[in-house]
Amino acid sequence: MIGLAAKELWGHRRRLAGSLIAVFLGVAFLAGTLVLGDTMSKGIDRYFANAYADTDVSVRNATQVTNSPGQLRGQIDGSVLDTVAGVPGVAHAEPVIQGSGQLLGKDGKNLAARGPRVAGNWITDPKLNAYHLVNGRAPSAPDEIVITELAAEQGKLRVGDRTSVLTPQRVPVTVVGISRFGDEDAFGETTFTAFSADGARRHVAQGSGRITGVAVRADGGVSQEALAARVRGVLPAGTEAITGAKLTKEGVDQVSDGFLRAFRIGLAAFGVVALLVAAFSIHNTFAITLAQRTRESALLRALGASRGQLGALAVGEAVVVGVIATLAGLAGGLGMAALLKLVFAGFGMGLDEQGLVFTATPVLIALPTGLLVTLLATLSPAVRASRVAPLAALREVAAERQGPSESRIIIGAVLAAVSVGGVVWGALTGSMQITGAGALMTLAVMIVLGPIAARPAAAIAGAPAARLRGVAGALARDNAARSPRRTAGAAAALMIGVGVVTLMTVFAGSLKASVEDGVAGSFHGSLVVNGGTNDSGGFSPAVADQVARLPQVAAAAGLGRGDAKVGEDKVTVRIADPARLGQVLALDVRSGSLAGVGGGAGGGAGLAVSKKVADDNHWRVGTAVPVTFADGTRQPFTIGAIYRKGDVAGDYVLPRTAWAEHTKQPLDLAVFADLKPGASAADARRATEAIVKPYGAPDVQDRDGYVAAQTEQMSAFLGIVYAMLALAIIIALLGIANTLSLSVHERTRELGLLRAVGATRSQVRSMVRWESVIVAVFGTAGGLGLGLFLGWALTRALGNPFAAPVVPMTVVALVGAVAGVLAAIRPARRAARLAALTAIATP
């Protein structure tokens, strides 16, 4: 039997090539995503290890108000530096001063980097400084700076150039040095601008005498733990000392537990989709191949082979295919990872420049997964092959069951009722668990009901072919309908791929519509100064005051962002003058008054919250809520207003005057302005652009432009999804092509007879091509229906409006039809080239 298995594999190697390629691509994609995730993980480890390589102890503010990676803590008193420096075992202690600092390029505009814009002091101790000079010198005067290579490239700056840094006031500076972060041109995409210590105290700490922390290097022979313990003994309340090892781990964990974990899960999900699509292709290929060997299997049974031996023969072939394809897929995973890096770079998500990291993870996950998927996909055909009766050897062929079995109809109907009901119930009740379980069951239903739906679907999808191509089209329709299980199996892979594409399209479209409706519903003004995100933008609150004084402007309000603990929750708060904000945003205040929120500090300080937050916490106007700031200050705020629309203003609005007492660098992310009746929007825009030019020229947008800017990331996200799912679609098309090739081989005599009775090569090609299109349309239509249904359920469960973008849906449908034509190229050519007499003589 082993020898027979080897002979079968070699004899049918061309038929199994499609399965081998499908497994190879699926495993390569899964392995590639794992390699890319490991590469990013190692890159993050290296970043933070370089940042704190020789830092033995770090002294900082003990208050933490956010878990977001890279967010700075509040400042501490500068006198702590001398206290720490005097601790036994401290070889060197250096102040760390960091804050917001936007470097302007040679053109006077903000740089294009998407990372945080940080300014601070140049650390004079080379061992404590993760940056090293590659050109120029360290800053010595308060108006001298060192910039990173990345910033120099983006800003077209070099040593000796004059530019400005916004801290947030405009500081004229001279570039005296260019640095690298370890082996990189920057710390990710962070723009770090280094002043001298005096310059940082003056421009970043605003002359307050406060610092962000102290970096400490220990004497030889003193452990980090021992020195940290000594330093803790002399620190004032509200200050803490941690080891450099803990500081490194904190940074790695913040990124790994947040962005990186979500990123890796997303990548793995796409890999699973690719393998699932490959599984259907493998299943269909083996099902057809084993069905074509029915007489051979029956003959083996007649000669004494047991059912177990026949099943083992089929499984053995699957194992060989799985091992070869999986091992090749592991090797191909490196190339796939490199390709994925290019894909992400193409969408503006440039990843680490280091080489790919190949660990044991892809081997331990992708290898068994590839083998398991191959075995599970071939299990059903193998069991079916083992049940062949010896008398089947006397038949011409083993005919496929023409109609669906009664059990399939009953099981499919029950599953359909349960799954659809579960999805609808979960969507209406907002339960993601029920919706997810129903979605998985719905997928199973589509597979069970596929053969039942294949025949009527082929008749409907094939009707245009019969009208357009006459006899060839009608034969294509009948061929697709006479083997419903085969047609459904080939279409299932494409259905899953298209279904996931449709689901993600609907999800992204619904999120986009939700954002658009929310922003458009909250802001009815005419003009916005958009400074970007908190990390990569922001400008002085003075901009809002200047815009408000324009003769065309009726009202203008700036809106900033910050982190604080409200009660015991770490949240994002919006910073504004509440009364002015209410003049430009329709917040729909339900109780209290924005004017009554006030702006004073202390016990009378006011706070505005969204209705959702108020309901969740059982708050009402007049409730006193403790707020903890990054500097460690904790004070009560009284809720003065509760509003319904928080799409722009968020869930918490703090008065700017209260916030200013706890930060030395207040920033606005946007200014919203409403024009006077009859005022020229063009004149107002030109005047506003002149105002913001000294502040790095942030974007000045009209209302529609601002709404569109808020959804740009959705379009990028959808582009990445399409790119990632393209491989799944390719695997599905290979499955259709393989099914057609096997069908052409099986129908060799039939095709010969068609040629003998007058069918032209063109008609034969057209018949095979249209059969492929019918299968592709069946799979595409099923995928569209499945994706739309599950997309509706997901958006409804999340409470978002349902939106099915017409253009992307139309493109998906057209791509499905075109894909059918492409999948049929090789099988159709082979069918048309068959010699009539030779084909008729084929046994």
Over residues 657-709, the pLDDT tens digits come to 899 888 888 899 999 999 999 999 999 999 999 999 999 888 999 988 888 88
C-alpha–C-alpha distance, residues 426 and 406, integer Å:
30
What pLDDT band is residue 603 in, cutting at 50, 70 and 90?
A: very low
Span 447-457, pLDDT tens digits: 788 888 888 98
53, 156, 364, 704 from 164: Cα distances, Å? 31, 13, 52, 31
Residue 137 to residue 140: CA distance in whole angstroms = 9
Q: What share of the chain is helix, strand, coil (3-state, %, to 5)?
A: 60, 15, 25
Q: Find the helix or strand (DSSP H, E) in which 483 lies.
A: none
Could you give the CA distance from residue 475 to residue 472 in angstroms, rounded to a whole number?
5
Q: What are phi and psi of 420, to 5 degrees?
A: -65, -45
Residues belonging to the chain:
843
At residue 564, does pLDDT exceed 70?
Answer: yes
- Which has the closest alpha carbon to 834: 771, 762, 757, 755? 755
Distance CA 173, CA 151 (A): 15
Which tokens sit at 219?
Answer: 């004497």
Residue 338's Cβ-count burial label (10 Å; 0-12, 13-18, 19+) is middle
pLDDT tier for residue 527 given thresholds of 50, 70 and 90: very high
pLDDT of residue 172: 96
Is the pTM of the predicted complex or chain greater than 0.85?
A: no
pLDDT exceeds cutoff 70 at 338:
yes
Q: What DSSP line would sit under 645-661, residue for residue?
A: --TTT-SEEEEHHHHHT
pLDDT at residue 504, as a whole number? 86
Comparing 111-125, 337-351, 539-553, the range with the smallest average pLDDT is 337-351
Q: What is the pLDDT of residues 405-442, one digit of tens each?
A: 677 788 878 888 888 888 899 888 888 888 888 888 88
* Mean pLDDT of the 620-635 span: 92
Name residue 135's beta-bridge partners: 178
The distance of Cα 570 from the centroid of its chain, to the nearest Å, equals: 24
From 17-21, 625-629, 785-789, the region with the lowest mean pLDDT: 17-21
Give the pair of three-digit tokens for residue 191. Answer: 């723009």
Secondary structure class of 539 (helix, strand, coil): strand
Q: At what angle do helices 432-482 and 484-522 cross, to 10 degrees?
A: 140
What average pLDDT is seen over the chain?
Answer: 84
Task: Identify the residue with better confidence: 307 or 335.
Answer: 335
Rg of the chain over CA atoms, in angstroms? Answer: 33
Residues 215-259 have pLDDT tens digits of 999 998 899 999 999 999 999 999 999 999 999 888 888 777 777
* Angle in degrees, CA 730, 731, 735, rounded to 5: 115
The secondary element (H helix, E strand) that includes residue 670 is strand 670-675
Q: How far apart are CA 491 and CA 823, in angstroms?
A: 12
Residue 319 is predicted with a pLDDT of 81
**Residue 667, SS3?**
coil
Decide: helix, strand or coil at residue 698: coil
Q: 155: how many CB neighbours lie within 10 A of its CB?
A: 24
Residue with tokens 């962000």: 212
Helices (H), 256-355: 261-292, 294-302, 307-346
Query: Are the CB atoms for 224 and 245 separated by under 8 Å?
Result: yes
What's the token pair of residue 498? 């298209």
Beta bridge partners of 98: 120
> pLDDT confidence of 763, banded at 50, 70, 90?
confident
Q: Per residue in 784-816, pLDDT tens?
A: 999 899 989 988 888 888 888 888 888 888 887
The answer to whether the beta carbons of residues 241 and 232 sit under 8 Å apart is: yes
DSSP 214-230: EEEEEPTT--HHHHHHH
Element (H, E) at 236: none
| Amino acid in position 585 | L
What is residue 25's predicted lDDT score, i.e. its pLDDT?
85
Lowest mean pLDDT among 398-407, 554-563, 653-662: 398-407
* 190, two tokens: 């962070």
Question: What is the enclosing helix (H) or strand (E) of 560?
Answer: strand 553-566
For the segment 485-496, the average pLDDT, to the nearest whole number, is 83
Structure confidence at residue 398 (pLDDT): 46
| Cβ 378 vs Cβ 286: under 8 Å | yes
Residues 6+ apart with CB under 8 A from 669: 530, 531, 532, 533, 534, 537, 538, 559, 560, 561
Task: Name the least confident of 125-139, 191-205, 333-347.
Answer: 333-347
Nearest to 44 by CA among 287, 226, 251: 251
Torsion from C-alpha of 216, 217, 222, 228, nearest 10 degrees: 20
Highest mean pLDDT among 30-34, 140-144, 350-354: 140-144
Q: What percent of the chain has pLDDT over 90?
A: 34
Q: Regarding predicted confidence, which is higher, 348 or 659?
A: 659
Among 350, 356, 338, 339, CA closest to 154: 350
Amino acid residing at 801? P
Q: 117-121 and 162-166: which strand pairing? A: unpaired
Return d(Cα 802, Cα 782) in angstroms, integer: 19
Read off the amino acid at residue 200.
A
Q: Which pair of structure tokens corresponds to residue 292? A: 């074509």
Nearest residue to 771 (alpha-carbon basis) of 804, 802, 744: 744
Most confident among 112-126, 155-169, 403-417 (mean pLDDT): 155-169
**pLDDT at position 554:** 94
Reported confidence tier of residue 443, pLDDT bands at 50, 70, 90: confident
pLDDT in tens, 710-755: 877 777 777 777 877 787 788 888 878 877 777 776 677 777 777 7
How many C-beta neighbours within 10 Å does residue 569 have? 12
Show the tokens assigned to 723.
């790119």
- pLDDT tens for 52-105 read 888 999 999 999 888 776 677 889 999 999 999 999 999 999 999 999 999 999
Q: Look at residue 601 in the predicted model and tell me its pLDDT.
A: 41
Name residue 178's beta-bridge partners. Answer: 135, 147
Lookup: tokens for 121: 């002091």
pLDDT bin (cut points 50, 70, 90) of residue 10 is: low
Q: In whole angstroms, give the CA distance from residue 236 to residue 76.
A: 10
Whether residue 102 contacts residue 82, with contact meaning beta carbons closer than 8 Å, is answered with no
* Under 8 Å between Cβ of 165 and 102: yes
Plot region of 350 (φ>0 → left; ψ -120 to 50 → alpha; else → beta): beta
